[in-house]
Chain A
Amino acid sequence: MSENFIDIRNISRHFGTVKAVDDVSFSIKQGEFFSLLGPSGCGKTTLLRLLAGFESANQGEIFIDGVDVTTMPPNLRPTNMVFQNYAIFPHINVKKNIEFGMRKEKLSKQELENRVQEVLSLVKLEGYEERFSNQLSGGQRQRIALARALIKRPKVLLLDEPLGALDKKLRDEMQIELRNLQKAVGITFVFVTHDQSESISMSDRVAVMNEGQIQQISDPHDLYYNPQNIFVSDFIGTTNFLSSSTGSSNGENIMVKIDQIGEFSIKNKLNIPENDNETVVSIRPEAIVLSPSPIDKGDIVMEGTIENSSYYGELTSFYVRVQGAENPLIASSQRFDNNSFEGNKCYLSINFEDINLLKKE
């Protein structure tokens, strides 16, 4: 396992005055399922295309398995790509699509046939050899695109929002399948998506991008619970932001005055300076414990009024107004629904460990 299997060093790609990718550096490990996550226009697809060789860098270098590929054309790179629209060749059948990239490998007829059957069984589409692209469903096309790339046994498989065009149920199935496939073949996957839940559920690590720059690279758990900045905290899941200011610090902890709620000593994970008025705290909806009766556990215990609620089946989101607060807090609960609260009065509690102190931007 190489730590720097893909090594991206100070890569920039500009389109006119737009810095699509702006001085980005990071490494991807061998065999890793790595996601590039961000809103549209954040540069994630450009970065993927830089890896594939479809874009040339204005500056910086890319190494794959120790080889400088920065100026290497796409046909010579040890990467293969699954395109967003799958790009199945419409004029040839499935078998010929899958064999397309094998021309230069000079395999015997039997070896080639074995390789085709191998990848077809990997994507569970045996028996589809004679079909044409227009006779396949979206999910099947995606599998063929995967098979066509995997038969090349690339060092890196690049996936450009491959699940975007599928309906939700199929997408959920394919998430699990892709993950299993990646484990089975052991190839390094670089997966581009704008869907935060998709990237969190599939990846070993996620790079969150915005405006051409990497905001944070972490494993999904860390990304969710320890966001490095407001953008990441906001982009991943739902959260409550409350304005705050810091006081004096005391070892690992710092005094934080949270608007309308109070002053507490919480952990200063990001080394926010003392006496800083430009800070916010982020509290996840599921970290706020709701109850119809008074709560005695918890670091912060408050009373509130439920203003609104949305029922999602597996959980219900409540919009809770705490006395004096400017905006309602969003709290989610699996235990209670709207009927659990008499007169909309509720009690809530928050633990200090669930409060993330962040710098305002």
Chain B
Amino acid sequence: MKLNENRTLYIYVLIYFGFLYIPVMFLPIFSFNQGIHMAFPLQGFSTEHYEDMWNSPKLFDALWNSIYVGVVSSLMATMLAFFAAKAFTKYKFRGQALSYGAILTPFLIPEIILAIALLVIWVSVGLPLGLTPIIIGHVLFCTPFCMIILIARMEGFDNNLEEASRDLGEGVFMTFWRVSFPILLPGLIAAFLLGFIISFDEFLLAMFLQGSDQTLPIYMWGQLRFARRLPHVLALGAVIIVATSLVVMLAYWLRNVGQPQEKQDLTFKI
């Protein structure tokens, strides 16, 4: 059955995409609107909000903080998740289900509980709030997501390949570097990107653990209180939408680069 032969399904798909994308499209539309009011009719085309955005040094501080937190925490989470995924896919051991559940817990318990718990501990130990506790929180929070992706990717990994490398004279580290790492690289990149995206727009942990260092979501939330400042947040939102799309396309391209044509995958698997 072809999709366009079934009108109901076709309409359903249209509504679905509309529901998904129309609200998001308001951001770029209003970001080019003249004036500070987010309402129709549009007042005319203007790039003033983008100029405003460009001239907000605090915004760039927050952006830099978010990228820094995202890269560091996602790198650490991907690494930890890789070790965990390796253990779960390669070995059978006592307490396997329990440790799997334990790693998954930060993903299952309400985030606000995690945030309060981390705040209480951090403050009671007497350490200063700021980006470091946010990174720790994000590592905790991102690791289960990264692990789920990596387990899915590594389940089909042929352990004989590692044994073959050992057999051909390589030690544990060079076996990882020459065999496992290049073969699992697309999965590692996917895990890293997901971790980064989760960290980048994470709000609650960053809210509770921030000191004077704001991440981008906290900054944007702070700006919403001032009606005059709202439009440049819209501009920022539009830029983020475009940047995210570019990252996804880049990830897709990276996945297929160097692969023979018939092995190229048309879907972007997370």
Binding site for B on A (CB under 8 A): 52-54, 73-76, 79-81, 83-85, 87, 89-91, 100-101, 103-104, 132, 134-135, 148-149, 152
One of B83-91, B168-176, B245-253 at the interface: B168-176
- Are B164 and A83 in contact, CB atoms less than 8 angstroms apart? yes
- Are B166 and A75 in contact, CB atoms less than 8 angstroms apart? yes
The reply to whether the CB of B6 lies closer than 8 angstroms to some CB of chain A is no
11 interchain pairs, CB-CB under 8 A:
A73-B171, A74-B166, A83-B164, A85-B158, A89-B161, A89-B164, A91-B183, A101-B168, A101-B170, A152-B168, A152-B169
Nearest CB on B from A206, distance (A): 24
Known: A53-B166, A134-B260, A149-B168; 6 extra A-B contacts, CB below 8 A, are A75-B168, A80-B168, A81-B164, A84-B160, A87-B164, A91-B182
Interface string of B152-169 (1 = CB under 8 A from A): 000000101101111111
Taken together as a complex, chains A and B put the C-alpha atoms of A132 and B170 apart, in Å, by 21
- When C-beta atoms are compared, the residue in chain A nearest to B165 turns out to be A100
Cβ contacts under 8 Å, A103 to chain B: 169-170
- Are A81 and B167 in contact, CB atoms less than 8 angstroms apart? yes
Known: A81-B164, A83-B163, A134-B260. A89 touches B179 (CB 8 A): yes
Taken together as a complex, chains A and B put the C-alpha atoms of A89 and B170 apart, in Å, by 14
The reply to whether the CB of B178 lies closer than 8 angstroms to some CB of chain A is yes
- Are A85 and B168 in contact, CB atoms less than 8 angstroms apart? no
Taken together as a complex, chains A and B put the C-alpha atoms of A83 and B182 apart, in Å, by 21
Nearest CB on A from B81, distance (A): 21
Choose among A75, A91, A100, A148 the residue that contacts B171 (Cβ–Cβ < 8 A): A75
The reply to whether the CB of B263 lies closer than 8 angstroms to some CB of chain A is yes
- When C-beta atoms are compared, the residue in chain B nearest to A148 turns out to be B168
Cβ contacts under 8 Å, B165 to chain A: 89, 100
Taken together as a complex, chains A and B put the C-alpha atoms of A100 and B101 apart, in Å, by 39
Please report the number of residue pairs spanning A and B whose Cβ atoms sit closer than 8 angstroms: 65
Nearest CB on B from A216, distance (A): 29
- When C-beta atoms are compared, the residue in chain B nearest to A83 turns out to be B160
Number of B positions contacting A (CB below 8 A): 18
Which secondary structure dominates chain B's binding surface?
helix
Cβ contacts under 8 Å, A76 to chain B: 169
Taken together as a complex, chains A and B put the C-alpha atoms of A81 and B178 apart, in Å, by 18
- Are B161 and A104 in contact, CB atoms less than 8 angstroms apart? no
Taken together as a complex, chains A and B put the C-alpha atoms of A102 and B161 apart, in Å, by 16
- Are B161 and A80 in contact, CB atoms less than 8 angstroms apart? no
Taken together as a complex, chains A and B put the C-alpha atoms of A148 and B168 apart, in Å, by 8
Nearest CB on B from A71, distance (A): 15
- Are A132 and B260 in contact, CB atoms less than 8 angstroms apart? yes
Binding site for A on B (CB under 8 A): 158, 160-161, 163-171, 178-179, 182-183, 260, 263
Cβ contacts under 8 Å, B183 to chain A: 89-91
Nearest CB on A from B258, distance (A): 9
Cβ contacts under 8 Å, A132 to chain B: 260
- When C-beta atoms are compared, the residue in chain B nearest to A81 turns out to be B167
Nearest CB on A from B190, distance (A): 16
- When C-beta atoms are compared, the residue in chain A nearest to B163 turns out to be A54
Taken together as a complex, chains A and B put the C-alpha atoms of A180 and B31 apart, in Å, by 76
Nearest CB on A from B173, distance (A): 11
Known: A75-B171, A91-B182. A134 touches B164 (CB 8 A): no
Taken together as a complex, chains A and B put the C-alpha atoms of A149 and B163 apart, in Å, by 13
- When C-beta atoms are compared, the residue in chain A nearest to B185 turns out to be A91
Nearest CB on B from A301, distance (A): 56
The 3 closest A-B pairs by CB, nearest first: A101-B168, A87-B160, A87-B164
Cβ contacts under 8 Å, A54 to chain B: 163, 166-167
Taken together as a complex, chains A and B put the C-alpha atoms of A306 and B170 apart, in Å, by 62
Cβ contacts under 8 Å, A79 to chain B: 167
- Are B263 and A134 in contact, CB atoms less than 8 angstroms apart? yes
- Are A74 and B160 in contact, CB atoms less than 8 angstroms apart? no
Known: A132-B260, A134-B260. A85 touches B170 (CB 8 A): no
Cβ contacts under 8 Å, A80 to chain B: 167-168
Q: Which of A52, A76, A89, A104 has the most CB of B within 10 A?
A: A89
Taken together as a complex, chains A and B put the C-alpha atoms of A85 and B163 apart, in Å, by 12
Nearest CB on A from B157, distance (A): 10
Nearest CB on B from A354, distance (A): 44
Taken together as a complex, chains A and B put the C-alpha atoms of A135 and B166 apart, in Å, by 25
- When C-beta atoms are compared, the residue in chain B nearest to A160 turns out to be B160
- Are B260 and A75 in contact, CB atoms less than 8 angstroms apart? no
Cβ contacts under 8 Å, A75 to chain B: 166-171
Taken together as a complex, chains A and B put the C-alpha atoms of A79 and B163 apart, in Å, by 13
Taken together as a complex, chains A and B put the C-alpha atoms of A135 and B169 apart, in Å, by 26
Cβ contacts under 8 Å, A100 to chain B: 165, 168, 178
Nearest CB on B from A188, distance (A): 16
Nearest CB on A from B260, distance (A): 7
- Are A104 and B164 in contact, CB atoms less than 8 angstroms apart? no
Nearest CB on A from B93, distance (A): 13
Cβ contacts under 8 Å, B182 to chain A: 91
Taken together as a complex, chains A and B put the C-alpha atoms of A75 and B171 apart, in Å, by 6
- When C-beta atoms are compared, the residue in chain B nearest to A52 turns out to be B167
Q: Which of B158, B169, B170, B179 has the most CB of A within 10 A?
A: B169
- Are A74 and B167 in contact, CB atoms less than 8 angstroms apart? yes
Cβ contacts under 8 Å, B163 to chain A: 52, 54, 74, 81, 83, 87
